Amino acid sequence: MYIVAILGSITILYIVKRESSLHEPMYYFLCLLLLTDLFLSSTIVPKTLSIFWFNSREITFGACFTQLYLSHCFLVIQSGIFVAMAFDRYVAISKICLAVVLRGFMLILPIPIMGSRWPYCGSNIIPLTYCKHFSVVSLACADIRPSNYYSVCMVFLVPSVDGFFIAVSYIQILRAIFRMPTKDARFKAFGTCGTHLCALSALYIPDLFVSLMQRIGSDVPPPVLSLMINVKLLVPPLLHPIIYGVRTKQIQDRLLWILTQKRA
C-alpha cells in the first residue's frame, strides 16, 4: 500500500508539472493533497516497517511527539484541502493553500504541548506502531482530561465544519449542474463531483470509525485496532492517486502519452 501510494502520487505530481494544460487551481490543490499524502504516510510507515523488519521497538520522547504532531497535522490539512477544492473559484489559490496548511499546524499544536508537559512515570509501552495521541497521553501519570476533551473536539469539529462548507459548496454546484442545457454536460459535471466525493469518503469515514472505536471499543483486541489504524492512515494516500488518476481524463491522456513516447 505504501509503495502504490508513493509511486501513484509521484506519477501524478510529475504529470501535472509537465502538462501546462493542468496548471489550474484544481490541479494545484490536487498536488498539495498528494504532497500531504506523501508526508503523512512517510511519517508513519518507515518506523512501522523498522519495527517488523529490524525489531526496532524504541522511539525517543521527542521523536514520538514529533510523529504525533505531524501525523495529526497532515490529517487536518487533508480535510482542509477538500474544502479548498470545493471553493477554489472564490479565493486566491496562494492564500487559501497557506490558510489550509497553517490551520492544520495551529489546530494540532496544543495537543503535543499539553502532552509533553505531563509526567510519564509508569509504563512506556505504546500498543501501536506509531505515536497516536490517545495511546501516548494514556501513559501519563496526570489528569489527561483536558487533552482528551480537546482531541475529541478536533475529531468531531474538523469534519463537521469542513463538511458544512463542502456541503454549501456542493449545493451551489448541483444547482449549476441542473441548469446545464445538455445531458452530456450534466453527466460530465456529476462525474467530477463523484471523484471528489469518493476521496472525501476515503478520508472521513475510516478516520471517524477508528477514532470512535479506540475511545469506546475497549473490547477490540489491540492487534486488530493497531492494524485498522495503520490501514486507515494508508487508505487515503493509496486511493487518491487511483481515484484522480482513473477519473480525470486529462491525467489519463497525459500518462498514456508519456508511456507511448517512452516506448517509441
Quick: pLDDT tens for 92-136: 677 788 888 999 999 999 999 998 888 888 788 888 888 888 888
CA gap 14, 81 in Å, rounded: 20
pLDDT of res. 88: 62
Give the three cell numbers for residue 21: 494544460
Q: CA 58 → CA 41, 63, 112, 129, 214, distances in Å?
A: 19, 10, 19, 10, 22
Q: Which has more pLDDT, 174 or 153?
A: 153
- Treating both helix axes as pointing N-terminal to C-terminal, what angle do 25-54 and 222-247 enclose, rounded to 10 degrees? 150
CA 191 centroid distance within chain:
22
pLDDT of res. 50: 93
CA 136 centroid distance within chain:
21
> Is residue 235 a contact partner of residue 2, using CB atoms and an 8 Å limit?
no
User: Is the pLDDT confidence value at 24 over 90?
Assistant: no
User: Is the pLDDT confidence value at 236 over 90?
Assistant: no
pLDDT of res. 264: 55
Q: CA 184 → CA 169, 180, 192, distances in Å?
A: 22, 9, 13
pLDDT of res. 27: 83
Is the pTM of the predicted complex or chain greater than 0.75? yes
CA gap 207, 212 in Å, rounded: 9
User: Is the pLDDT confidence value at 192 over 70?
Assistant: no
pLDDT of res. 91: 59
CA gap 36, 17 in Å, rounded: 17
Which range, 24-38, 65-79, 121-135, 152-166, has the best average confidence (pLDDT)?
65-79
Domains of the chain: 2-263 (1.20.1070.10)
The DSSP secondary-structure symbol of 117 reads T
> Is residue 34 a contact partner of residue 236, using CB atoms and an 8 Å limit?
no
pLDDT of res. 185: 65
pLDDT of res. 9: 92
